[in-house]
Structure 1
Amino acid sequence: MQPSLIDRIQQVMALSPESHALEFQGQWYSWAEVGQAMASVQKHLDQAGLAEGDVVGILLRNRPAHVAALMQVLGSRRCVATINPFQSPEKVASDIAGLNLKAVICDRGDLAHPSLLEAAETCGTVVLQMFADQHLHIEPASDNTVPLGSGHHPALPDTCILMLTSGTTGPAKRIKLPYRSFALSLMGTPGHYSSHKETEAIRLKGTPAVLTTPLVHIGGMFAAMAAVTQARPIVILEKFSVAGIRRALTIYQPKLISLPPAALRMILDADTPADELSCLLAIRCGSAPLPPSLQEEFEEKYGVPLLDSYGATEFAGAVAGWTIGDHKQFAKQKRGSVGRAQPGTEIRVVDADTGKQLPPNTVGILEVLSNQIGSNDWTRTTDLAEIDEDGFLYIRGRADDAIIRGGFKILPQDVVAVLRSHDKVKQACVVGIPDHRLGEIPVAAVELNAGCTGIDVDELIAFAKSKLTSYQVPTAIKIVDEMPRTPSMKISKHAVKNLFLEQV
């Protein structure tokens, strides 16, 4: 019988307490030190009267004390409400006030601005602060150790995370992730991506995982907790950098890491020596579309398979993905696919209006049936997709991304593909903005390749006109120094849209 998430965390903590658990900026913290930090979280939450199911806000940064706090809140069957620390202090304060929690855990540096403590005091919220020196510290940030007032967020006994979505297509929102879904997703991960299943008893791994994606988003949180449940130490990068990943690869020689496409491009642009990636058997990709041209360039230079995947916060992990075996057999024929359905998951494409299942190689709305959801019903996504005769999934855009211009439907990814085919364009993003006559019109932000000059907006529009149907051509293009991105390194379509709306 598979252990519960709580049981697995306890098993891992007891394996070898003095062994390395978390590395940050060159310093290792042992499992025993992580356990002490977790015990401190437990003590202070107990003293504040928080029981199982109570919701605890955490401003999650990629730092070791934050991983310990996350492990303890989940391990005590309380619910984590993720709070984005990359917002302005005023927005963080507004988030805390809106959640009205009994307790919030944050980095000591987050308290430099008084608005957080002021919001917590107004709501009667206990605040714990985290920091690390030679040891990990989690302690009260004020004299108030018991929640005051009433009307705090209700307990959610079956929910492990109130997960903040990425905010790629609009303002971020929270959804409930059940304990069962999250645990099933975690425990099922290793066998799908590796060439064999791990059937042996749980044991401490010698090679660490490398955490490059933000803990505050599902990708980073999933990666960290997957490493813990696999009894694997974690090297924590506060944020992705080429220097940071080169250091981790050189010192620790991991066989598998996860990187978004933007990070792959940064590694290529830095002309990173191929021998520094020779330890890798594969790289998992996700969080944003992987352009086939980028995949081809990267794999040709480094010889490392890129295993693309597709998932959503609602499913607590990946829905589909490439395996090493599939990559060996189908990589060239199925370029552009995000792989096949994960074990325990079924996928289909249906007509948006009738709900009727569509035949292979037909674009429609993607639906998912997963044992991680705990429901026998198909869940409709907002993604346009097609599935070929071999079960490989191709994402063709988002249904809610489609731009309707005077009755004509425009798929932004079609316009992006044309703009990116220009030899001076590095990246492009196409969004729709309101228009009083046509309802909606397409606009584009474009980032040029390094050192490119002598190109202007008129030339880009003329290029688009030569390749696209007239109604697909963006009505306006902005050349930006750098694409606005979310903390998980996705292009923020919401921010791109605001570049044009601010002028209206």
Structure 2
Amino acid sequence: MTEPVSHARRIRERAAAHPGQPVYRHIAADGAEPVFDWRWLDRRSDQVAGALAERGLGHGDRLGLALRNSPQFVLSVFAAWKLGAVPVPMRWDLPDWELDRVREVVRPAVHLDRGELPWLDGTAGREPVALPDIVSPHTHGICSSGATGTPKVIMGTSPSVCGPHYNRPLADVWQRVPPIPSPQTILVLAPMYHINAFSTLNNLLGGDRLVVLERFDAARVVDVIERYRVSTFTATPIMLQRIADVPGIERRDLSSIEWIMQGAAPMPASLTRRWCELVGPEKIIMAYGSSEGVGITAIRGDEWLTHPGSVGRGIWGTEVRVLDDAGASVPDGQLGEIFLRMPGSDRARYLGATPQLTPTPDGFRSIGDLGHLDADGFLYLADRRADLIVSGGANIFPAEVETALIDHPKVADVVVIGLRDEQWGRRVHALIQPADAADPPGLAEIRAFAKSRLAAYKVPKSIEIVETIPRSEATKVNRGRLLAARGG
């Protein structure tokens, strides 16, 4: 694949060249695992496209998709591309009032949610319509709550055109020897409203195969890896922790894995070393980027062992700077705001009233994360500026405290927030999901454990035992919502 072609044309080419090739397997919550080939994906997406056109979806329009990972989701995305429309996946796990706020920003010409599943399935009886070769002005939109909880909708950086990069895995930036086999079998763990999961559809167009979980379940992930010889997946730290905690994981067959990628949050060192033991450090990639696509850094596990805690150096032309509040570069090792610049990364735009990212005079942009560089140019994350806790005049990063506490044997999951406090301004407060509900940790033992790993001023002053940490289906947590529920 050398010449760029539209997504619509690529779907048709795949169906013509490999009509019966199984390329998409759905791992349903009810235990079913149906598989679909290119002929089915092409024909059914034509049928859905014709039905959507009758509902008014056309070139440049937005298609709202509040659907779980499912064949219907994939067909709807393909149908949008075939009409030159822009698919915008949305968090279906939001409460109705919050989803309505997102819809007001997206303003979709057509919106599909779980109530539309019978309608989507009903399109199977239609005669497929002839559709022109057409390009959407944006490949997709991505919705994010942002640090403040206000709707943030990011329009993709490029039109719906396939190029050679669609079958170049991120792992190839290290020019591995031997090269990664193609096609890859990619396991999709996260909901496809998340950019890392949604982007696997590009891999599908590029010739790879997808195995898509409707809902994350760690034990089932391991079964699926063994059964379908999965070669790669992308996961958050909490996903990797839950997979590593599957009983007997050391005896399971993970030999098919060529590489895995971790992103979304700093990775605890103990968990990184555990995965180095499970699959080998050379197969682990830790990356840092954003849905805005301002740039990307990455580090392989064997590099990480000599630069523990780093998220790597810039790849694909990404340059990294760490600046102070006046816009000046800070010395190596000193904390500042992370700015990235990558060729062709300046086209993403927010919809609605969200302020656009303001670039520096020479084109570097930031999404508000803080960190530092070392003398070798490796980047280290601290946390989001918006999540910073100022307690007694000292700056404390929740992610650092969470990383320290997660290794406590009685802690299954943890999130740290800064509650209002008359004495400290904000006090470090840890919400803890115990490993054993009948034997939760107490404040004294949590504080003693934390003191062995953190400076005294970073140690939680209060804890709260909860049945479960309220994470989204993508395993992300909204600290702002947790703060609001506890008085801000």
- Which interval holds the TM-score relative to the shorter structure? 0.7 to 0.9
Output the amino acid matched with 2:244.
Answer: L
The number of residues matched between the two structures is 455
1:47 aligns with 2:44: no
TM-score (norm 2): 0.81
Describe the shift of the 1:197–1:78 C-alpha distance in structure 2 as closer, same or farther (beyond 3 A).
farther
1:143 maps to which residue? none
1:19 aligns with 2:5: no
1:362-381 → structure 2 map (5 Å cutoff): 362-374=334-346, 377-381=363-367
Separation in 2 of the partners of 1:281 and 1:453? 39
**1:40 is paired with a residue of what secondary structure?**
helix
Contact 1:168–1:486 under 8 Å retained in 2: no
1:98 Cα offset (Å) = 5.9
Contact 2:236–2:262 under 8 Å retained in 1: yes
**2:23 is paired with a residue of what secondary structure?**
strand
Contact 1:192–1:343 under 8 Å retained in 2: no
Percent identity of equivalent pairs: 24
**1:445 is paired with a residue of what secondary structure?**
strand
1:432 Cα offset (Å) = 2.1
Q: 435, 440, 463: which one pairs with 1:449?
A: 435
1:214 Cα offset (Å) = 0.7
Q: 48, 64, 74: which one pairs with 2:81?
A: 74
TM-score (norm 1): 0.79
Structure 2, gaps ≥5 residues long: 27-31, 127-134, 348-361
Q: 145, 153, 177: which one pairs with 1:174?
A: 153
Q: 210, 226, 233: which one pairs with 2:209?
A: 233
Q: 383, 387, 401: which one pairs with 1:397?
A: 383
Alpha-carbon deviations, 1:347-382, whole Å to 9, x = none? Answer: 11111x111122333321110111242466111221
Describe the shift of the 1:100–1:258 C-alpha distance in structure 2 as closer, same or farther (beyond 3 A).
closer
1:148 maps to which residue? none
1:219 maps to which residue? 196
1:379-458 → structure 2 map (5 Å cutoff): 379-420=365-406, 422-435=408-421, 439-450=425-436, 453=439, 455-458=441-444
Contact 1:5–1:229 under 8 Å retained in 2: no
Alpha-carbon deviations, 1:62-87, whole Å to 9, x = none? Answer: 11121121123134331223222112
Structure 1, gaps ≥5 residues long: 112-128, 140-155
Contact 1:167–1:486 under 8 Å retained in 2: no
Contact 1:190–1:197 under 8 Å retained in 2: no
1:496 Cα offset (Å) = 3.5
1:278 Cα offset (Å) = 1.4
1:58 aligns with 2:35: no
1:21 Cα offset (Å) = 2.4
Contact 1:461–1:477 under 8 Å retained in 2: no
2:255 maps to which residue? 278
Describe the shift of the 1:471–1:104 C-alpha distance in structure 2 as closer, same or farther (beyond 3 A).
same
Q: 464, 478, 482: which one pairs with 1:496?
A: 482
1:130 aligns with 2:120: yes
1:37 maps to which residue? 44
**2:368 is paired with a residue of what secondary structure?**
strand
1:133-148 → structure 2 map (5 Å cutoff): 137=124
Output the amino acid matched with 1:306.
Answer: I
1:46 Cα offset (Å) = 2.5
Q: 284, 288, 295: which one pairs with 1:310?
A: 288
Separation in 2 of the partners of 1:460 and 1:335? 24
Describe the shift of the 1:270–1:193 C-alpha distance in structure 2 as closer, same or farther (beyond 3 A).
same
Separation in 2 of the partners of 1:103 and 1:465? 54
Contact 2:335–2:370 under 8 Å retained in 1: yes
2:140 maps to which residue? 161
Separation in 2 of the partners of 1:48 and 1:467? 59
1:186-335 → structure 2 map (5 Å cutoff): 187=166, 189-190=168-169, 192-193=171-172, 196=175, 207-223=184-200, 225-271=201-247, 272-303=249-280, 305-315=283-293, 319-323=296-300, 327-328=301-302, 330-335=303-308
**1:258 is paired with a residue of what secondary structure?**
strand
